[in-house]
Amino acid sequence: MERKPVIIATVLSLLVLFVGASLVSAQTLMIASAGGYKKPVMEAMKSFEKATGIKTDAAFGNIQMVSSQAKQTGEISCIIGDRKFLAALGSTVTFASYQPIGKGILVLAYRKGMSLDKVEDMASDKVKTIFMPQDKKAIYGIAGTEALKSYGYSSKLAGKITRVATVPQVVSYLVTGEADAGFINLTEATANKDRLGGYLVVRQDRYTEILIVAGVVKGFENKPETKKFTDYLKTKEARDIFGKYGVK
């Protein structure tokens, strides 16, 4: 009989630990994002954690990859990317709502040792290779394709073009010098400006407007941590972080 209080106390202690661990787990916010926005998203997550005390984790890659991960794991509450790309995911992921973040900007970046004065210089003889994301996997692949068509270069530059999966991969080829120029977003160009020769902003009328949002995955819209994150994205602090990386 004397051992019962000890047993009960032990069970109660384990129950408290289990419930506490469950609460902590429930408050971990899982986010996914297009790879081209990794740096501002990570900085925003760090700021959000500091402001709210809610832990965060994230996955980065092309939208098809991260959306598949969201479907398989059932743990990702928000996906950050182009609204049209997210809306087109169809049965892979359904979104309850979209929180606007800003506009994405297409740029033509070039490697160190290269100097371009205007976007049209990509057609010059000094540019031998142009890398860009695949238009089926990245919104800046679509924007780059639209820009080439707008300039009348689709056929003319076909032999120079190499397509890769993501914007960060284009940056990698520019940094190693394997690509002379490449279409990426202003966010990655800003984040890697010291590793690039430079970049030129492509005029907005050369491609369809890119609206960057946080898509709230259906089923997570009523989670307190998700609501706090979408509210955070409306703050000046969040806008300043994304604005610093060219999303305004």
Q: What is the DSSP string of 30-43?
A: EEEEEGGGHHHHHH
Burial of 11 (0-12, 13-18, 19+ CB in 10 A): exposed
CA–CA distance, 82 with 61 (Å, rounded to integer): 13
CA–CA distance, 215 with 33 (Å, rounded to integer): 10
In the chain, how many domains are there?
Answer: 2
The reply to whether 34 falls in a domain is yes
- Say yes or no: 28 and 110 in one domain: no
The closest alpha carbon to 36, from 168, 189, 173, belongs to 168
- Say yes or no: 165 and 237 in one domain: no
Instruction: Tell me the pLDDT tens digit for each residue of 8-29.
Output: 444 334 333 333 333 334 568 9
- Say yes or no: 99 and 110 in one domain: no
- Domain of residue 174, CATH code: 3.40.190.10
Task: Judge whether residue 141 has pLDDT over 50.
Answer: yes
Q: List the domain range (segments joined by +) for residue 117.
A: 106-201
The reply to whether 85 falls in a domain is yes
Q: Which two tokens stand for residue 58?
A: 């994230």
State the pLDDT confidence band at 114, using cuts at 50, 70 and 90.
very high
- Say yes or no: 137 and 15 in one domain: no
> What local confidence, expressed as pLDDT, does residue 90 receive?
79
Q: Which residues fall within 8 angstroms of residue 241, CB to CB, at 6 or more apart?
A: 40, 43, 44, 47
- Say yes or no: 142 and 111 in one domain: yes
- Say yes or no: 49 and 131 in one domain: no
6-20, 106-120, 178-192, 204-218: the lowest-pLDDT one: 6-20
The reply to whether 206 falls in a domain is no
Secondary structure (3-state) at 134: coil
pTM over 0.95: no
The order of strands in the sheet holding 210-217 is 56-61, 29-34, 78-82, 210-217, 95-104
The reply to whether 224 falls in a domain is yes
CA distances from 191 to 4, 45, 133, 195, 219 (A): 62, 17, 18, 9, 33
Secondary structure (3-state) at 60: strand
Q: Where are the alpha helices (DSSP H) in 94-235?
A: 139-151, 167-176, 186-191, 224-232
Q: Which two tokens stand for residue 230?
A: 């979408």
The reply to whether 42 falls in a domain is yes
Overall size of the chain counted in residues: 248
Q: Looking at residue 6, what DSSP letter applies?
A: H
What average pLDDT does this structure show over 217-233?
97
- Say yes or no: 170 and 153 in one domain: yes
The reply to whether 180 falls in a domain is yes
- Say yes or no: 20 and 94 in one domain: yes
The reply to whether 183 falls in a domain is yes
Instruction: Tell me the pLDDT tens digit for each residue of 143-198.
Output: 999 999 999 999 999 999 999 999 999 999 999 999 999 999 999 999 999 999 99
- Say yes or no: 139 and 193 in one domain: yes
In this structure, are residues 144 and 182 in contact, taking their beta carbons and an 8 Å threshold? no
> What local confidence, expressed as pLDDT, does residue 92 receive?
87
Q: Which two tokens stand for residue 223?
A: 């989670």
Matching residue, tokens 């059932």: 74
Q: Which residues fall within 8 angstroms of residue 51, CB to CB, at 6 or more apart?
A: 232, 237
Q: How high does pLDDT run on average in the chain?
A: 90
- Say yes or no: 71 and 20 in one domain: yes
In this structure, are residues 80 and 33 in contact, taking their beta carbons and an 8 Å threshold? yes
- Say yes or no: 228 and 160 in one domain: no
> What local confidence, expressed as pLDDT, does residue 20 receive?
38
The reply to whether 207 falls in a domain is no
- Say yes or no: 193 and 216 in one domain: no
